[in-house]
Amino acid sequence: MKRSILLKGGVGTVVAVLALAGCSSSKPAADSSTSSSSSSSTADTSASSAMTSDSAMSGSGMSSAMSGSEMSSSAMSGSEMSGSSMSGSEMSGSAMSGANGGAPTKASKNYKVTFIQGVAGDNFYITMQCGIQDEAKKLGVTVNTQGPAKFDPTLQKPILDSVVASKPDAILIAPTNVTAMQAPLAKAAASGIKIVLVDTTVNDPSFAVSEVSSDNVGGGKAAFDAVKQLQPKGGKVLVISTDPGVSTVDARVKGFDEAAKGDSTFTDLGVQYSHNVPATAAQIVTAALQKDPDIVGIFATNLFSAEGAATGIKQAGKVGKVSIVGFDAGPDQVKALKDGTVQALVAQQPGIIGVDGLQQAVAGLDGGTVTKKIQTGFTVLTKDNVDSSGAAYKASC
């Protein structure tokens, strides 16, 4: 399985290679849960490439001298790579392979697996679900998908409890809080269910077979690099996030802040939280621009932060003067990019996260080799490469 990240040059063709996903926390969906299943398949599939190791993509230092080439990932295992410095090449994600010498091609039996999304109806998790379902057919296992109506542990925990009671062989889950989901998931693992954490994590994930996610710290750094290319003279920058305690967005904030504080031409105004409500994000941005009218860039850690930030900029009469870099690439985000509401997007690889997660679950069930931590890549999108990148998320499978 070839996993490629398009790395383009130019302003928003700031491209970085990362390793989680971060999560795409979203507005409430219309229904409280969704479900789907994929039937077993007898079709053979070629061996997938090896997974990324813990250290393979940790964030700093790879030169842009690699422009214009397609790189073999195996050469890069264990090295540190900068998110945005690799302009102009296509990189195979599977080459940055780690400890597990290969992925399973067929399960020993038709295992029952449940995928619990961070939130139902979110394009990020829909795309992940599509990857899981496709891989389930190849492996010959059955997958059921469920998710809460909001990215909220008080809604996700009852779903988890119900799933555990049904005694699946494995659960793939995007935990909605690092603390609140810790004990329920550890208890599920103790009952004999194989747990794979996809996208988000918990404070102590030692009970999990594997964690699969993007390098969200690297994603935050790449977002800063995108702001820097859009605003080369520097200035004040602000981060709008959802809520503290969500592992993925916390990591994105950390990566952005570290990069901004390391560049003396920029002044980091820190992070403010919108609670994933666009109207709140708009109010925050409007107030921030009244206090600091010379803000030049805003990093919005998810769709609704970006949507609200754009509204706030319009209300402040600062359209064209303040650049917004968002995270994720669902249909709404891509439309916002094409419309000029945001100037760049950091797109994750949720489909690959899903594929890798299911492969690790099956490997754990069959007693095969598992990789404890896998990190996937991303693409920084602008108007210039959004249609050619193939990185946009799906609205349905």
From the number of C-beta atoms within 10 Å of its C-beta (0-12, 13-18, 19+), residue 329 rates as: buried
Residues 287 and 222 in one domain: yes
Residues 45 and 174 in one domain: yes
Model pLDDT, residue 130: 97
Residue range(s) defining the domain that contains residue 290 = 216-347
Residue 142 resides in a domain: yes
Residues 181 and 47 in one domain: yes
Residue 345 pairs in a beta bridge with: 326, 381
* Cβ neighbours of 350 (radius 10 Å): 34
Do residues 107 and 362 make contact, with C-beta atoms less than 8 angstroms apart?
yes
What single letter denotes the amino acid at residue 300?
A
- And the tokens for 340? 């000029």
Residues 147 and 263 in one domain: no
Do residues 278 and 311 make contact, with C-beta atoms less than 8 angstroms apart?
yes
3-state secondary structure labels for all residues of 342-376: CCEEEECCHHHHHHHHHHHHHHHHCCCCCCCEEEE
Residue 226 resides in a domain: yes
Do residues 7 and 86 make contact, with C-beta atoms less than 8 angstroms apart?
yes
Domain count, the chain: 2
* Domain CATH number, residue 308: 3.40.50.2300
Residues 223 and 208 in one domain: no
CA atoms within a 13 Å half-sphere pointing along the CA-CB vector of 273: 8
Residues 158 and 194 in one domain: yes
Model pLDDT, residue 84: 32
Residues 361 and 341 in one domain: no
- And the tokens for 226? 């995108």
What single letter denotes the amino acid at residue 57?
M
Do residues 304 and 26 make contact, with C-beta atoms less than 8 angstroms apart?
yes
Residues 163 and 268 in one domain: no
Residues 151 and 229 in one domain: no
Q: Are strands 323-327 and 295-300 parallel, antiparallel or unpaired?
A: parallel
* Cβ neighbours of 280 (radius 10 Å): 18
Residue 1 resides in a domain: no
Model pLDDT, residue 82: 31
Residues 268 and 190 in one domain: no
Q: Would you put residue 276 in left (φ > 0), alpha (ψ -120 to 50) or beta?
A: left
Residue 290 resides in a domain: yes
Residues 30 and 113 in one domain: yes
Residues 67 and 106 in one domain: yes
- Coil, strand or helix at 30: coil
Length of the chain: 397
Can you give the pLDDT of all 397 residues of the chain as single tens digits?
333 333 333 333 333 333 333 444 433 333 333 333 333 333 333 333 333 333 333 332 222 223 222 322 222 222 233 333 323 222 223 323 333 447 889 999 999 999 999 999 989 999 999 999 999 999 999 999 999 999 999 999 999 999 999 999 999 999 999 999 999 999 999 999 999 999 999 999 999 999 999 989 999 999 999 999 999 999 999 999 999 988 889 999 999 999 999 999 999 999 999 998 999 999 999 999 999 999 999 999 988 898 899 999 999 999 889 999 999 898 888 988 998 888 999 999 999 999 999 999 999 999 999 999 999 888 899 999 999 988 999 989 9
Q: Which of 343, 336, 345 is nearest to 381 (CA)?
A: 345
- Coil, strand or helix at 393: coil
Which residue carries 């990789």 as its tokens?
A: 371
Residue 47 resides in a domain: yes
Residues whose CB is less than 8 angstroms from the CB of residue 353 and which lie 6 or more positions away in sequence, other chains included: 20, 21, 128, 131, 198, 199, 212, 213, 214, 376
What single letter denotes the amino acid at residue 58?
S
Do residues 139 and 107 make contact, with C-beta atoms less than 8 angstroms apart?
yes
Residue 14 resides in a domain: no
Do residues 370 and 340 make contact, with C-beta atoms less than 8 angstroms apart?
no
Phi, psi (rounded to 5 degrees) for 290: -70, -40
Q: Are strands 4-6 and 90-92 parallel, antiparallel or unpaired?
A: antiparallel
Angle at 16 between CA 14 and CA 22, to 5 degrees: 115
Containing H/E element for 293?
A: none
Residue 71 resides in a domain: yes
Model pLDDT, residue 75: 27
From the number of C-beta atoms within 10 Å of its C-beta (0-12, 13-18, 19+), residue 270 rates as: exposed
- Inter-CA distances, 108 with 51, 99, 350, Å: 21, 22, 26
What single letter denotes the amino acid at residue 64?
S
Which residue carries 């489909």 as its tokens?
A: 351
Do residues 6 and 15 make contact, with C-beta atoms less than 8 angstroms apart?
yes
Residue 170 resides in a domain: yes
